[in-house]
Structure 1
């Protein structure tokens, strides 16, 4: 069974309040998306990488990212679910229903290859039909209404969902198609798969696998990438 990677990168960046889509903002002199694709293409388990981009994307051709694992792009949809579904359908043309697909946020450039390898290994070895990286909630969580605290939520079983998220192509196609048909808004692939009766495996990942949501996150990502590169160099020198 092959492992494919799909990156939904059709967002406009409206929520960040910038003209340039956030996946193309610069990080260490390269676009965010370049770093994300570089991590995935360097993953030894990954057979090929596909990217979902907006039909009117004017930045992709300037990305200057090249890899023998790049198998093409697909037009994005009206939302994440439709973009990922378009990608899954395209991957099913080159892969098999039981092949795995890693879906990874375009704006999570700090994911490590070790985390991706552990996710793949633990999910494949488990009885689950998929899984995702996550991190336990460390902060105290409050339920709030109209800026008033109503209660403190027990965080002992709460995790932050990260990406990549790993599922069989056929199952993810079924889950996303079902959610879209029923008009259910989903924010990640795991929630779609949960709806069709397959609880995913949660694999603990590094907390520095951050999602770039605000401009200030870029500075933090620069520090994280520099730290990771320093550790990699130290290990190579041993």
Structure 2
């Protein structure tokens, strides 16, 4: 298969209210850059990625105005109230030359520690089948089901369970149709794979590094900063 160029989509219209910061969490700085800047760097440094579309809130006052990275375009569009709305808006806003068969990588703006080797394996898996693929990690901890007052009521089997990570890689046309169908049915999908699953697809699970963390809490931010600084120091030695 020829090395077709891909596009990246980053939904970044969220307010990050659960994090508890006045600044949307994607604009918090770690290791000298904002979280979203690290995410863009990881994607656009890959030779197969041709450009990125970032979905921002209409009143975003924090966006850096970045329009190019590694000689590749960084475009922006208006996102929506939910993640799926932002991803769908970004898919519609991609340049006309991005065909329905083009593979699109959807990546969290607050997931800054993506590694190139994970991208390599994800792209290879997604190109090998029509249903696409996602980075994921097998569940290794024992799982407990709780009642309304946080008492254990059952231990759940973890066999066959994975944690969904990003990027998630699907062809533009198929993902657009899946997200539009979910919206029409009033189904709130929490990731792109869920939308594809509703259409009967069975995306591949590609095991990725567990330090590809999504920043959700202040503790996550501290851990990601440590990991990024560790990577930076290893490059300078």
Using the size of structure 2 for normalisation, the TM-score is: 0.93
Q: Say yes or no: does 1:194 pair with 2:197.
A: yes
Matching residue of 1:7: 10
Per-residue CA deviations over 1:86-111 (Å, capped at 9, x if unaligned) read 01111262300000000000000001
Shift of residue 227 of structure 1?
A: 2.6
Note the 1:137-176 alignment, pairs <5 A.
Answer: 137-146=139-148, 147-176=150-179
Shift of residue 207 of structure 1?
A: 0.4
Note the 1:25-40 alignment, pairs <5 A.
Answer: 25-40=28-43
Q: Say yes or no: does 1:210 pair with 2:178.
A: no
**What is the rounded CA distance, in whole Å, between the counterparts of 1:129 and 1:72 in structure 2?**
26
Residues 128, 231 of structure 1: alpha-carbon distance in 2 compared, 3 angstrom cutoff: farther
| Helix, strand or coil at the partner of 1:97 | coil
**What is the rounded CA distance, in whole Å, between the counterparts of 1:61 and 1:204 in structure 2?**
33
Find the partner of 1:44 among 21, 24, 47. 47
Residues 150, 138 of structure 1: alpha-carbon distance in 2 compared, 3 angstrom cutoff: same
| Helix, strand or coil at the partner of 1:93 | coil
Q: Say yes or no: does 1:129 pair with 2:131.
A: yes
| Helix, strand or coil at the partner of 2:94 | helix
Per-residue CA deviations over 1:98-141 (Å, capped at 9, x if unaligned) read 0000000000000101101110012212x342010000111110
Find the partner of 1:178 among 159, 162, 181. 181
| Helix, strand or coil at the partner of 1:61 | coil
Using the size of structure 1 for normalisation, the TM-score is: 0.93
**What is the rounded CA distance, in whole Å, between the counterparts of 2:17 and 2:50 in structure 1?**
33
Q: Are the aligned partners of 1:128 and 1:199 in contact in 2 as well (CA < 8 Å)?
A: no
Matching residue of 1:227: 230
**What is the rounded CA distance, in whole Å, between the counterparts of 1:22 and 1:78 in structure 2?**
16
Q: Which runs of 5+ in 1 are unaligned?
A: none
**What is the rounded CA distance, in whole Å, between the counterparts of 1:97 and 1:64 in structure 2?**
24
Q: CA RMSD in A?
A: 1.7
Q: Are the aligned partners of 2:67 and 2:74 in contact in 1 as well (CA < 8 Å)?
A: no
Q: How many residues align?
A: 233
Shift of residue 230 of structure 1?
A: 4.1
Q: Are the aligned partners of 1:2 and 1:95 in contact in 2 as well (CA < 8 Å)?
A: no
